[in-house]
Amino acid sequence: MSLQNDASHEKASYNLYIYSQLSQEDSSCCTVVATKESSAADVIKIAVAALCLDASKTYVLTEVKECGGEEWVLDANDPPVQRVRLWPRKAQERHSQAEGYYFLLQEKNQDGTIKYVHLPRLSEEEAARRLVERGFLPRPQEDYNDLCNLPNLTESAILGNLKVRFVKQKIYTYAGSILIAINPFKFLPIYNPKYVKMYDNHQLGKLEPHIFAIADVSYHTMLKKRVNQCIVISGESGSGKTQSTNFLIHCLTALSQKGYASGVERTILGAGPVLEVI
């Protein structure tokens, strides 16, 4: 459906592409100029004339959504333009059969019934694949740095994503503003001053997930709102809570520029074992 320039938006006219048959090879198509108010009956009348069909017969307009496996017969009063406006943006522009969203003009049988197209029911994966191929959905990434962006939020998808990232030595992943850390049980060169600087005063989520990002956000929120901040660290024994706390303290003291000069970091870290005993 392409919008034609018109001074008044209310009176804007749209090009609707109407097919008279399903078969892709010999389908004939015509363009009908319609407004938001045009009814299916108006569109059918113009399409029948444009496609040189027998005007003595009765026709219905069917909205076909291949991905959902849906065929919807429009009522004579239904405005087709309104239906198109609910389609994915790309399908709205030029809804050819190849895009999987289109209108089909169908002849009514003597008894008032119509012959349904009976689209094969697509599996969810196939439907998603076609939507991606047609540019209606973004291409799936290899891994997601925020679990909230996973296309399918299932346990296996979450674990699979964490695993893919872990293999690439990306031990941190966001779940919104929560940071998930997986213990690498080896030293990774991602805690040096370069990283403290990189995450200094940044917006959470803009850079690769990191424990310093959490430290930085709480530090700057504390300065801005002048309210104490709290970071909750939770995990099973040996998961890396103490180590994560140390990294947080290291980053916080570095950000406050007291880390090296006053030995604050050493003092706080030294108190850690005593606090853990209590």
**What is the identity of the amino acid at 7?**
A
In contact, 191 and 250? CB cutoff 8 Å: yes
By beta-carbon proximity to ligand ATP, the closer residue of 134 and 166 is: 166
By beta-carbon proximity to ligand ATP, the closer residue of 121 and 186 is: 186
Q: How far is the CB of 269 from ligand ATP (least distance, A)?
A: 12
Q: How far is the CB of 251 from ligand ATP (least distance, A)?
A: 13
By beta-carbon proximity to ligand ATP, the closer residue of 15 and 243 is: 243
Q: How far is the CB of 197 from ligand ATP (least distance, A)?
A: 19
Burial 72-100 (b: 16+ CB within 10 A, else e): eebeeebbbbebbeebbeebbeebebebb
By beta-carbon proximity to ligand ATP, the closer residue of 15 and 239 is: 239
By beta-carbon proximity to ligand ATP, the closer residue of 157 and 231 is: 231
Can you give the C-alpha Rg of the chain in angstroms?
30
Report CA-CA distances (Å) from 197 to 170, 202, 255: 19, 10, 8
Q: How far is the CB of 65 from ligand ATP (least distance, A)?
A: 48
Q: How far is the CB of 70 from ligand ATP (least distance, A)?
A: 49
By beta-carbon proximity to ligand ATP, the closer residue of 68 and 184 is: 184
Report CA-CA distances (Å) from 188 to 14, 169, 170, 179: 58, 8, 10, 17
Instruction: Please state whether beta strands 101-107 and 13-19 pair in parallel, antiparallel, or not at all (unpaired).
Output: parallel
Q: How far is the CB of 245 from ligand ATP (least distance, A)?
A: 8
Nearest to 32 by CA among 16, 52, 11: 16
- Using CB under 6 A as the criterion, which residues of the chain lie in contact with ligand ATP when the complex forms? 183-188, 235, 237-243
Question: Residue 178: which H helix or E strand, with range?
Answer: strand 178-181
